[in-house]
Homo-oligomer: A and B are copies of this chain.
Amino acid sequence: MFKIIRTIGAATRSIQTVSNETFKPLGLNNNLFIYLIRTVEQPGMFLGELADSLQIDRTTSFRTVQKLVKLGYLELKNDQQNLKIKRVFPTTKAKELYPQLHDYEQQSSDVLLKNLSTTERNQLAKLLDKLNI
């Protein structure tokens, strides 16, 4: 069964390599685009929360968010109740870009899954949902 983690590792690295190349023109190399997708879909998470939800180191995530703020994609807002936290929101620019990012994600998924039938895709999605991440 160890082959499972090898395969998903290889798939992830492979997907990231391609997406880096794809989004370089937008300055969104690395995993930048997953931050945007996540933030548009669930705006208002605080910094650490966002990092944890993406399974990315908090300090790495912190600096990436700074960069995305500088690029005009995200903005940070202080919380009224809790002075400690800063909440992350997408700008209009990010919201406008979102459909394109989502399309890419979809296409990327289609390529990865091209050898699987619809039934198999559903099966796979269901099984992955049960992973203990």
Give residues in A with beta carbon < 8 Å to B: 1-17, 34, 54-57, 102, 105-106, 108-116, 120-121, 123-125, 127-133
Contact = CB atoms under 8 A, between A and B. Distances in A.
A132 B114 contact: yes
State how many copies of this chain the complex holds: 2
- Main SS class of interface, A: helix
Contact of A109 (B4, B56, B110): B4
Instruction: Name the 3 nearest CB pairs between A and B, nearest first.
Output: A12-B12, A13-B55, A8-B8
Given A4-B113, A13-B54, 9 more contacts: A4-B109, A4-B125, A5-B108, A8-B12, A8-B128, A11-B133, A12-B12, A112-B131, A116-B131
A133 B112 contact: yes
Given A8-B128, A131-B112, A121 B1 contact: yes
A4 B54 contact: no
Contacts of A124: 4, 124, 127-128
